[in-house]
Amino acid sequence: MERITKQSTAILNAIQAAQRPLLAPEILEAAALEVPGMGMATVYRNIKSLVDNGMLTTVYLPGEIRATSLHTTTITTISTAPVATKCLTYTIALGTCNSWLPKGFTVESHEITLYGVCETCKLNPLPPSA
Amino acid sequence: MERITKQSTAILNAIQAAQRPLLAPEILEAAALEVPGMGMATVYRNIKSLVDNGMLTTVYLPGEIRATSLHTTTITTISTAPVATKCLTYTIALGTCNSWLPKGFTVESHEITLYGVCETCKLNPLPPSA
DNA sequence: CTTTCTGCAAATCTTTTGCAGCTCT
DNA sequence: AGAGCTGCAAAAGATTTGCAGAAAG
């Protein structure tokens, strides 16, 4: 990314406002409110640039394609997808751990995903295949 | 999955032999050596059944679509994709951690991915964009 | 002005589905 | 026979790319 455009700004705004990672279609939907007529290709091109520049992080979750979030090293809500007993997922930054690794392997970065149920979903569980 | 077929057997054999998660096309390539003429649709259908039955696990990694591995709770090599400085990825089973989680959130399962460089790749680094 | 974006449409690629025929029990 | 699978081809989704015109610096 070399230039700041209204499209790239709208994308960052959308993700920042959501306070959670968004899927590409969600980003388009939100950003298009700010920049009518915006296309999906622009979303993908900008996500790629912004990720390359360390401004966004791409998260891969089972059942979803790619979610994109602001790049931070603290707790980040990852998903609120309507899956039966897995309503929320969190990624947490931890210290490096070299146990169990093969000799000579050096850890450069890591990612931890915890699957579980939040308070609200415990009270209102979704039907098995909703 | 209700029946064991030569196709499903070939898929399990391929993954077991590889000793690492495989991408769908890799599974087809390997399984087709055992069952000539096998189709991609059969690979996907079997992966789905085997995952449902807890015999396989699907892993999501940046830059790749889905890799499938034997389901274990111990160390599993996840990827040897030719990325510049990230030659190996490992997933490790850990104990539950509830720190930093929102009140009321219960962890059900988790996944940890460590990115780094193995001994061999330190000695023979790949060019930046190979 | 010049270079870098954008939108649109077409192209790719991955995964799923419909169907008729085959297979295991 | 009968349920469950398979291969093939078409369909459905997601992401990328080519290109002419628009926009940022």
Q: Over the stretch A71-84, which tens digit does the pLDDT of each residue have?
A: 554 344 433 333 32
**Does any CB of chain B come closer than 8 Å to the CB of residue A125?**
no
Q: Of A20-24, A123-127, B44-48, which gets the smallest average pLDDT?
A: A123-127
pLDDT at position A103: 58
CA of residue B128 to C1' of nucleotide C2, angstroms: 30
Could you tell me the strand order of the sheet in which B76-79 lies? A76-79, A88-91, A106-117, B106-117, B88-91, B76-79
pLDDT at position A119: 65
Residue B100: pLDDT band (50, 70, 90) is very low
Q: Are strands A88-91 and A106-117 parallel, antiparallel or unpaired?
A: antiparallel
Residues 6+ apart with CB under 8 A from A41: none
- Closest residue to C7 (CA to C1') is A39
Average confidence (pLDDT) over B42-54: 90
pLDDT at position A62: 59
Average pLDDT along chain A: 68
Which chain B residue's Cα is nearest to A63? B60
pLDDT at position B110: 59
CA of residue B54 to C1' of nucleotide C6, angstroms: 46
CA of residue B128 to C1' of nucleotide D12, angstroms: 35
Give the nearest partner residue to B92 out of A75, A100, A118, using CB atoms.
A100
**pTM exceeds 0.75, yes or no:** no
- Choose between B72 and B58: higher pLDDT: B58
Residue B33: pLDDT band (50, 70, 90) is very high
Average confidence (pLDDT) over A105-130: 57
- Choose between B124 and A20: higher pLDDT: A20
In chain A the beta strands, taken as DSSP E runs, fall at 22-23, 56-60, 66-70, 76-79, 88-91, 106-117
Q: Of A4-13, A45-54, A72-81, B48-57, which gets the smallest average pLDDT?
A: A72-81
Residues A12 and A50: beta-carbon distance below 8 Å: yes
Average confidence (pLDDT) over B67-76: 52
Q: How many residues does chain A have?
A: 130
In this complex, the nucleotide whose C1' atom is nearest to the CA atom of residue B65 is C14
pLDDT at position B54: 81
Q: Nearest CA of chain A to the CA of B36: how many Å?
A: 31
Residue A120: pLDDT band (50, 70, 90) is low
Distance of CA B6 to the CA centre of its chain: 22
pLDDT at position B63: 59
Amino acid at A27: I
Residue B2: pLDDT band (50, 70, 90) is confident
**Structure-block tokens of residue A108:** 């450069």
Which chain D nucleotides are covered by protein, judged by CB under 7 A? 3-10, 14-18, 23-25
What is the rounded distance in angstroms from the CA atom of residue A41 to the CA atom of residue B127? Answer: 29
**Does any CB of chain A come closer than 8 Å to the CB of residue B52?**
no
| CA-wise closest residue to B12 among B3, B22, A92 | B22
pLDDT at position A17: 86
A18-77 residues near strand C (Cβ < 7 Å)? 35, 37-42, 45-46, 49
**Does any CB of chain A come closer than 8 Å to the CB of residue B102?**
yes
CA of residue B71 to C1' of nucleotide C4, angstroms: 47
pLDDT at position B108: 63
